[in-house]
Amino acid sequence: MRQLDVGQVRKVVNAHIGSRVRIKSNKGRHKIDVTEGIITETYPSIFLVEVANDVEATSQMVSYSYTDVLTKDVCLSLM
């Protein structure tokens, strides 16, 4: 996803509420976390993704900021 500013990232994420996404997040020191979930809500500086836990049949909410997407610390791809 190539974006120029935070406002455009916010618009794209807001347009895909309810969509299933794969998220690759950089955790530092060459650690990359890959999760899949559904974009549930957006706020002025963050958005929420509901991630299902396969083992316990529960789910958790994970928040990401639009600036992390802009700086490529978090990469979103639609499924």
Indicate which CATH number applies to the domain containing 29: 2.30.30.100
pLDDT score recorded for residue 56:
72
Digit-coded pLDDT (tens) for 45-77: 999 999 987 777 788 999 999 999 988 899 999
Contact by Cβ (8 Å): 73, 32: no
pLDDT score recorded for residue 2:
53
pTM of the model: 0.84
Q: Is residue 1 part of a domain?
A: no
How many structural domains is the chain composed of?
A: 1
With a cut of 70, say whether residue 1 has pLDDT above it: no
Digit-coded pLDDT (tens) for 17-53: 999 999 999 988 889 999 999 999 999 999 999 998 7
38/51 Cα distance (integer angstroms):
7
